[in-house]
Amino acid sequence: MISRVKGTQDVLPARFTSKPDAQIERWLFVERAAREAFRRYGFEEIRTPIIERTELFERGVGSETDVNKEMYTFADRDGEMISLRPESTAPVVRAYSEHGLFNQAGLVKLFYIGPQFRRERPQKGRYRQFWQIGVEVLGQSDAPAIEAEVIEMLDWLLNELGITDTDLLINSIGDGQCRPAYIARLKEAIFERLGALCGNCRLRAETNPLRVLDCKVESCQAYLAELPRINESLCEPCANHFTEFRRLLAQRGIAYKIEPRLVRGLDYYMRTAFEITGASLGAQNTLIGGGRYDGLSEILGGQPVKGFGFASGVERLVMSVPDSKINLDATKPELFVACVGPESRDYAYALGRRLRAEGVTTIVDLEGRKLKKALAVANSIGARYSLIIGEDEIKSGSYALRDMTTGEQNNLRESEIVDTLKYRRLF
Ligand code: HAM
């Protein structure tokens, strides 16, 4: 049998898999909570294509970034270079510009939920197809209150998901005013220590010196700690922005750590960069990453637009949700209808149709099984209740509704069954 592509996964009902991040009930719980957070904070949904012109990411995320190098890219039949999206910020900014949303009064607050593609080395929490939930706040304002409110929303969402063991790491990486001078000094300091650094750092020293700060190799750490810190080289407007952002976090009672080496892996960021890490995740412990990207729109050839947002790996959120939060019964059917003999089948089909019309999840035995076998099926699919249609039931219009966990049985009429079972499900 042909198997799935490396680094991808199937998400299934929990009764078919014990792998937490492959259980659909967990995904639904996370998505529902995220949508609720977005509703409360006034975000609207956007869906952009999975394929985009390669150039969008080449210019957007930067040609020397890992994300760009990990893209799935192909030449279309007409020769146009197309990529599977590795992230959604550049596509959302493209769509914002393409649909003239800059004419809107006020901020445009968008959210998305969808798959992204990066050809990374797969490991726990790292896939080649993974899902992101993210938001982008776009408009003419760069008020630090935007950053603070988005992080307040994330605080609410993580709490709702029961993910409590997290750290919020923040940094400011400056702007076009103050960063070039910093990068020059950084490069100089890196070259002074070049011999002691790992191969990757040596490569990046030339192509993307900021990312040297991000290196996780143990033997580099002592040297990296000595490098000049970007948040100590900020120009006045950037420093003021960072101070106000921190004041607004403190005002909300949101704890944070300043992480001077947090630079993020995409070129479009300026000023605010942040990540939220989760304690239970292992090596791939970044649950959420984001930042400010004023200027990205112009890099893509659009109007000047200011932006701030984040994206979170859904698999990582799903893995971090404690079991106690998940209702693994949420997708199970309420009712299984079995028949005593062939003559009761047509009656069962009609009853099933009426119950569904009233909102009850009903599975009618379509396979014509003998009663005992049919009830074994009801058990194995986890139906909460079953009822059996025979001659007596058809005559009296009253059915023995059996609770499949307790074995308790009650004789009920159709309307009473509807009252008992209607809309019991969570999703
Ligand atoms: P990013 O840091 O590249 O940022 O990705 C955000 C999150 O996506 C990560 O923190 C992680 O949870 C998840 N993620 C990334 N790669 C993988 C992978 N291979 N497997 C599983 N999960 C993964 C961005 O993508 C930016 N567009 C975020 C942003 C939005 N910045 C501003 N607005």
pLDDT in tens, 27-66: 999 999 999 999 999 999 999 999 999 999 999 888 888 8
Ligand 1 near 320 CB (within 6 A): no
Task: Give the per-residue pLDDT at 28.
Answer: 94
**Residue owning tokens 């900014």:** 93
* Ligand 1 centroid to residue 11 C-alpha, Å: 20
Tokens of 338: 């079995």
- Mind listing the pLDDT tens digit for each residue in 378-412? 999 999 999 999 999 999 999 999 999 999 999 99
Q: Ligand 1: which of 132, 264, 315 to mutate, judged by most atoms within 8 Å of the beta carbon? A: 132
Quick check: 242 pLDDT over 70? yes
Taking the CA of residue 88 as reference, the ligand 1 atom at the shortest distance is: 27
The pLDDT confidence band at residue 423, using thresholds 50, 70 and 90, is low
- Amino acid, res. 114: G
The pLDDT confidence band at residue 426, using thresholds 50, 70 and 90, is very low
- Mind listing the pLDDT tens digit for each residue in 73-90? 999 999 999 999 999 999
- Amino acid, res. 33: A
CA distances from 352 to 344, 346, 402 (A): 12, 10, 16
Asked if 21 and 54 count as a contact pair (C-beta separation under 8 A), the reply is no
What's the mean pLDDT in 348-367? Answer: 93
Domains in the chain (CATH in brackets) are 14-163+269-325 (3.30.930.10), 332-424 (3.40.50.800)
Taking the CA of residue 266 as reference, the ligand 1 atom at the shortest distance is: 3
Ligand 1 near 291 CB (within 6 A): yes
What's the mean pLDDT in 299-306? Answer: 95
What's the mean pLDDT in 352-373? Answer: 93
Task: Give the per-residue pLDDT at 176.
Answer: 94
The pLDDT confidence band at residue 427, using thresholds 50, 70 and 90, is very low
Tokens of 11: 């998400």
**pLDDT > 90 fraction of the chain, expressed in percent and rounded:** 82
Task: Give the per-residue pLDDT at 283.
Answer: 85
Asked if 150 and 309 count as a contact pair (C-beta separation under 8 A), the reply is yes
What's the mean pLDDT in 151-160? Answer: 98
Ligand 1 near 312 CB (within 6 A): yes
Quick check: 286 pLDDT over 60? yes
Quick check: 238 pLDDT over 70? yes
- Residue with CA nearest ligand 1 atom 16: 126
Task: Give the per-residue pLDDT at 425.
Answer: 54
Taking the CA of residue 275 as reference, the ligand 1 atom at the shortest distance is: 10
Q: Ligand 1: which of 66, 130, 263, 280 to mutate, judged by most atoms within 8 Å of the beta carbon? A: 130
DSSP structure string for 262-305:
---S-TT-EEEEEEEEETTS-SS-EEEEEEE-TTHHHHTTS---
- Mind listing the pLDDT tens digit for each residue in 369-386? 998 999 999 999 999 999
Ligand 1 near 130 CB (within 6 A): yes
* Ligand 1 centroid to residue 368 C-alpha, Å: 49
- Residue with CA nearest ligand 1 atom 13: 313
CA distances from 193 to 221, 226, 272, 281, 314 (A): 12, 10, 28, 32, 39
What's the mean pLDDT in 336-363? Answer: 92
- Mind listing the pLDDT tens digit for each residue in 327-348? 887 778 889 999 998 889 999 9
Ligand 1 near 126 CB (within 6 A): yes
